Every structure is written in structure tokens, then in C-alpha cells.
Structure 1
């Protein structure tokens, strides 16, 4: 009986620690996002719509705003710049194929792939990574944006609302994606850095699952948002905490789990993967990722021989 009690307490302690790390990640992401907004370019903006200061929209990135996983494109770009080997990229390519074909995130896969990617930047400077991320966006991401989701974001901007990306991708890359799309800012995973140099560790945890909800709440508190007037968009069942934190939730290109939740809760569903466009763009993207993984595997096999 005593052993059962000890196991129960350990399980409870682990759950509390995970929640603490998720909350820390959310707080860190919100703080960094606000700081980036303040430090943004001083270029004169376009004439704004009459501001709606208490409403905003929050968009997931992977398979919601962008076809496929942003961390995969990020890894490809880093590999091209010799941050790591082709063998490391095989794992990223295979995860991308599974994500694009299945349309579903696995929590442990998300955690391991993003932690692996972030570990490769240890010892690099924030300035260097930011400059490289700009290049990677132009090379690999710009053409992967879902036009339908981009139009939804523009709808909120036209209504005078702020629009934020919310993603497990490093916040530096997320901020670039947001800026290139003309959005307000981004909430993303915060990698620890000291004197402008990455340590290879995270602040709290990945901005994933419950951490996204913590980040949205923290940002709302800082920015004076009324979450009941806010809208959130995502493709993944893992983002149900974030979707549940706002007044309006929309499932975009949903996985089967989120589709079931949306149906049960009466949430709107938008799917941009079907029809002629999906056939022309989506399938080649999947095949391209698979071909990349295969080509690298063959090259490695020849090298071993």
C-alpha cells in the first residue's frame, strides 16, 4: 500500500512539474513577443484600420498557416549551412513525411525534433540565427503559406484586430514569418541565450500544447485583450487548450482528433487541403519530402560502403 502511495505522489509531482514548465514557457514567450513588437522596425506602417484594442486572433503555424512543419524547413536550411550532417536531416525528413501524410502531431516526436533542432544552435549568436532565418524563409517557406489561412488573418487585420502566430518553432523564426506576412507578432519557443549567444537550453519547455494556452493568456494580460472576443485557429488536437482559451475556435486543416472535438463543440472547420489546389501543391510536397529522405539515405549507404 505504501508503494502505491509513493508512486501516486511521484506521478502527481511529475504532472505539477510539467505544468510549471509549460507555464514558464508561456510566460517567457509572451514576454519575448512583446519585447520584439516594441523593438520592431520603425518603417512607416500602412494606414491602420480603426483599432479594436480588446480583440485579437491567434494562429498556429504548422499545417495551419503553412503547409507542413516549419521546423523541418528550418532544419533543411541549417543543414545546407553545415549546422549539422545529412544523417541528422534524415530524421527531420521522415518526421515531415509522417506529419504531411498523417496530418497529426505526436507529442514526443514534436518535442524530440524541436529540441534536437534547437540543440544545433548552441554556441551560435542570436544575430546570426535571425539573419539565417530570414534567408530560410525566403528559400523554403514563403511559397508554403496557405492562401486561405492568410486571408483569414487579413480579415482580422482589416477589422483592426491584432494577429499573432503561436508556434513551437523558435520565436526568432516565428517573428520573421509573422513580419513577412504583415502580422502583429509571434509567440514561439524561447531558447535561452546569454550575452546574445545560445546555450542550447530552453526557457521552460517547448511552446506546445498547454504552454500555448499559457502564452495566449499571458499575452492577453499584458496587452489588455478580452479573450472572450478573441479567435484561435489550429489544425491539431494538441492545441485544444489554446482553442478553448478564447471565445471563438476554428479548426483549420484539422487532424482527425481535432475534427471530432470541433464537431462535438460546434466549432467552425476550414479545410484548404482538398480540391485541385491540394492535388497540385500538397501531394508534391509530401513526395518531395519523401524523396529527400530517400536520397539522403541512399547517399549515406554508399558512403558506408
Structure 2
């Protein structure tokens, strides 16, 4: 008899990360940590608010942004980056996690649901947050390049952003033989629409502006998460 809860047959739950599982932005937390440790120049963050606004309204040049925020790590070894990300996750990101999101993921895991965190943030951060805070091993994020275990500072195409989230999710499903039957998804901005449109039941977290209007038009559940 075939076990109906085999790895390939688990129901799926996909979560955006920033703004959905945590308050604010993990890249901001990462930059705060770099700044506190004297690893970026004084003017490195001068355009930060502009980038945030562009991200929220869907107009950010994401490739340029990735290269900018990754540049302080160029030339670091993989082990040094992993150590930095582990510490940064504990000190700068853990306090930002929404209790509702943490409990929701824990409940889904207990029910045997496969949780995938799908984020536009680069994999160096997403992998550490998923593993250390949520106990999640399946992630989709913008990949980054190492050569001979040394970080080049380059993000790799396709970026896990907007339509890229949906593209990479479909690729992951195909490679693993996973199905979106009875799937659910959670996101917080217009950048998540393509991903959320793939799942059977979508939820909008802390939705505002155009995204809130769109979520309502689609009949998506509106949720409010708070620290």
C-alpha cells in the first residue's frame, strides 16, 4: 500500500519572508549588522529609503540592488559568511519575527505540510533564517556566486523576484515531483502576486495599497500580523 503522506505527496505551503514572516526587511537587519560591526562606509545606506519605496511599488532595479547590498561581502570565504549570517539572524532578525507566522509554520509542519520559504532576498540570508528560526530546509531565493569557496558578490539569474518567484517555484515543483493540489501561500506586497496566483488558497499579510485592493478582488484572506 502506498503511503499517502510520502515526501512527494505532501501538501505545500509557500511563504514570502520579509513583511510576511518578519516585521520590516531582513536586508535592513543585515545592513544594521554590517554597520554595527564597521563593515560598511558611512554613506553606504544613503539611498536605502528610495530602494525600499521602489521595492514596495514594484519598480526596483533588483539586480543593481542585489549587487549593492552584497558588495561588502565580496572576497569573504563561505565559512565566514555562514558564521556572520548565523550571528546576524540571532541578534538582528529573530526579534523581528511575527509570533503568528512562527506559530503558523509550526502548526503546518506538525500537520505534515511541506513549508517552502520563497523570498526575493538573496539565499545567504534566507537559508539562515529558514533553518535557524523556522526549522525549514526548503527555500527559494536569489542564488549567489562563489568561486573556490570565495564569494564574488554576484547574484545569479533568474532572480527570485516578482515573476521570478513563480518561475523558480514551478521549476522546484517539476524537479521534485511536487504538486500544488491543496496548496496555500502567504505574501505581503505586489511582488508576491505571481507566486500567490499559483496556489489554491492565498493569504495576504499586512496588505496595503494596491496589493490590498488586488487581494480583495481575488477573494484572498486578509491577515494582520504584529510583533
Same fold at TM > 0.5: yes
Higher strand share: 2
Q: 1:272 to 1:167 in 2, by over 3 A?
A: same
Of 125, 148, 157, which aligns to 2:77? 125
The answer to whether structure 1 residue 71 and structure 2 residue 27 are counterparts is yes
Of 233, 236, 253, which aligns to 2:186? 233
CA contact (8 A) 2:182 2:201 kept: yes
Normalised TM-score (structure 1): 0.66
Q: How far is the alpha carbon of 1:103 from its aligned partner? A: 9.7
CA contact (8 A) 1:228 1:248 kept: no
Give the unaligned 5+ runs of structure 1: 1-49, 274-280, 282-305
Normalised TM-score (structure 2): 0.88
CA contact (8 A) 1:103 1:255 kept: no
**Runs in 1 of length 4+ with deviation above 6 angstroms?**
none
Separation (CA, whole Å) in 2 of partners of 1:257 and 1:151: 28
The answer to whether structure 1 residue 244 and structure 2 residue 197 are counterparts is yes
The 5-angstrom pairing of residues 185-204 of structure 1 reads: 185-204=138-157
Question: What is the aligned length?
Answer: 221
Q: 1:227 to 1:190 in 2, by over 3 A?
A: same
Separation (CA, whole Å) in 2 of partners of 1:212 and 1:82: 33
Of 36, 39, 43, which aligns to 1:87? 43
CA contact (8 A) 1:130 1:173 kept: no
Give the unaligned 5+ runs of structure 2: none
Higher helix share: 1
Q: 1:51 to 1:155 in 2, by over 3 A?
A: farther
Q: How far is the alpha carbon of 1:109 from its aligned partner? A: 6.0
Q: How far is the alpha carbon of 1:168 from its aligned partner? A: 1.7
The corresponding residue for 2:159 is: 206
The answer to whether structure 1 residue 271 and structure 2 residue 227 are counterparts is no
Separation (CA, whole Å) in 1 of partners of 2:61 and 2:154: 18
Q: Which structure is larger by alpha-carbon Rg, 1 or 2?
A: 1
Separation (CA, whole Å) in 1 of partners of 2:210 and 2:103: 25
Q: How far is the alpha carbon of 1:183 from its aligned partner? A: 2.1
The corresponding residue for 1:277 is: none
The answer to whether structure 1 residue 182 and structure 2 residue 138 are counterparts is no
The corresponding residue for 1:13 is: none
Separation (CA, whole Å) in 2 of partners of 1:128 and 1:95: 30
